[in-house]
Chain A
Amino acid sequence: MTDTATTETVVATHTVDARGSFCPGPLMELIRAIREGQVGDIIAVYSSDKGSKTDIPKWVEKAGHRLVALDARDGYDEIIVEKLR
């Protein structure tokens, strides 16, 4: 993880660059960041795996966190999650 990433509307406190990793790598990287993080952290996940944009929002909903944004970038998706608990 790096320290800070900026999007149009929110400032992520952590970034998980999982580009090049395949399912379930990006989700597992997000889960690690959630486990290590604090409530209120904003985590940006970069994933080039097409499955992430469906898998990660489903996991976020089940795990009780908040999906802040999901944006297509150049060759990858940026998925921003707030840790709520």
Chain B
Amino acid sequence: MDRIVILGGGVGGTLTANLLVKKLRARIDHGEVEIVVVDATGQHVYQPGFMYIAMGGERAADLSRPERSLLDKRVTLVVGEIARVDEARQTVVLTDDRELAYTQLVVASGSRIVPEAIEHFDTEAHHFYTADAAAKLRTALDAFTGGRIVIGIAGMPYKCPPAPLEVAFLIEAELRDRKLRDRTEMHFCSPIGRAFTIESVSEMATPILETKGIELHTFFNVEAIDPARKLVLSLEGEELPYDLLILVPPHKGQQFLMDSGLAPAPGGWLPTDRHTLLVGGRTNVYALGDATDLPLSKAGSTAHFEAPVVAERISAAVEGRAPQGKHVDYKGKVMCFFEIGDGKGTLLQFDYDHPPKPPKPNQLWHLGKIVFNKTYWHTVPKGRV
């Protein structure tokens, strides 16, 4: 019997499982194939919504649903924490010593934040990468009456690359509404030589920063936080004072991937073929979403467009045929909305060969993002879009 084990019940893992059911339904029903999703909590969390806890009145309770409710009934859900992958025995070992043998393995274990990598981050810096942190940022914004806001990125790569710029734009608009803009200096710190990694997006965002009076600091790699002097210091030697500090925390891949020899330290990102999504030359281990080392956005959208490729290639292996159709290879497709503030947004759509050409910001793309967020549960995980 084929047993396809999927590590992670986020966008990538859930969608891959449901797409595999569509492709292999008869074999599953005949007991020839089993699909297993392993998830640490059993709760599926819509992480892009965290930003809206801080910025848009979103509630944490509305961003989480039982993973079981999103999976086809033919998929087995195992709730447990992964200790390691034993490749020699083709077995996943959980921390409670349960073992799951596999014939095909899909790693969709996402990324994790490591704010503790920077001393004083937890007490001095706000972020919006967990529901709790986003709620604390909202509280801090409510209490803010003017001063100096510094928004930066304390490690690359990180989830949802547009998010820090979006937060800067949304806070700027909010402060104008609250008549606090004149009493506030805003600074945006980018680790690289421009506002955003992709040049065309940077060319769009930089004039918006200028128009909004947000000072851009390039090549600002956060090195330390000085809580006594309320300064954030860069590796390049700059010091910026802050009254409110908002930093994207450093990110890493999952520890069990490094412990299993699948991903190199210290980052823990899986060496992944950019087209087949196979890991490190293996023939039955795939990766998608944040877990890979691909030069793409760590975003649900990336996993969304990778999942059909993983599902097709695994189905082909199970059925003893060559992969076929439009999902034979992943071409780097990513699509995401980008908030500009003042009820406007734009769209980033690109692949390996075509950089994004963001349309002029308008209300439509902002509304598109809101509608997408609200309808996500009924569309993406179930493979309806």
Contact = CB atoms under 8 A, between A and B. Distances in A.
A binds B: yes
Interface of A: 21-25, 27-28, 31, 34-35, 55, 58-59, 62-64
Nearest to A61: B219
Contact of B219 (A22, A25, A35, A58): A58
B271 to A, nearest CB: 10
Contacts of A31: 191, 221, 235
B295 interface: yes
Given A25-B295, A31-B235, A64-B237, A59 B219 contact: yes
A63 B237 contact: yes
Nearest to B190: A24
Contacts of B237: 63-64
Contacts of A24: 156, 191-192, 197
Contacts of A23: 192, 197, 295
Contacts of B192: 23-24, 27, 55
A55 B235 contact: no
Contacts of B156: 24, 28
Given A28-B156, A28-B191, A63 B236 contact: yes
Nearest to B156: A28
Interface of B: 156, 191-193, 197, 218-219, 221, 235-237, 295
18 contacts: A21-B295, A23-B197, A24-B156, A24-B192, A24-B197, A25-B295, A28-B156, A28-B191, A31-B221, A35-B235, A58-B193, A58-B219, A59-B219, A59-B236, A62-B218, A63-B235, A64-B236, A64-B237
A4 B42 CA distance: 48
Contact of B193 (A28, A35, A59): A59
Given A31-B221, A62-B219, 9 more contacts: A23-B197, A24-B197, A28-B191, A34-B235, A59-B219, A59-B236, A62-B218, A64-B236, A64-B237
Contacts of A22: 295
A55 B197 CA distance: 11
Nearest to B223: A35
Contacts of A27: 192
Given A24-B156, A28-B191, A62 B197 contact: no
Nearest to A32: B266
B176 to A, nearest CB: 32
Contacts of B219: 58-59, 62-63
Contacts of B295: 21-23, 25
A63 to B, nearest CB: 4
A58 to B, nearest CB: 5
Contacts of B218: 62
Contacts of B197: 23-24
Nearest to B294: A22
Nearest 10 interchain pairs by C-beta = A22-B295, A63-B236, A24-B192, A62-B219, A62-B236, A55-B193, A59-B219, A58-B193, A28-B156, A24-B197
A65 B236 CA distance: 9
Nearest to A51: B199
B248 to A, nearest CB: 14
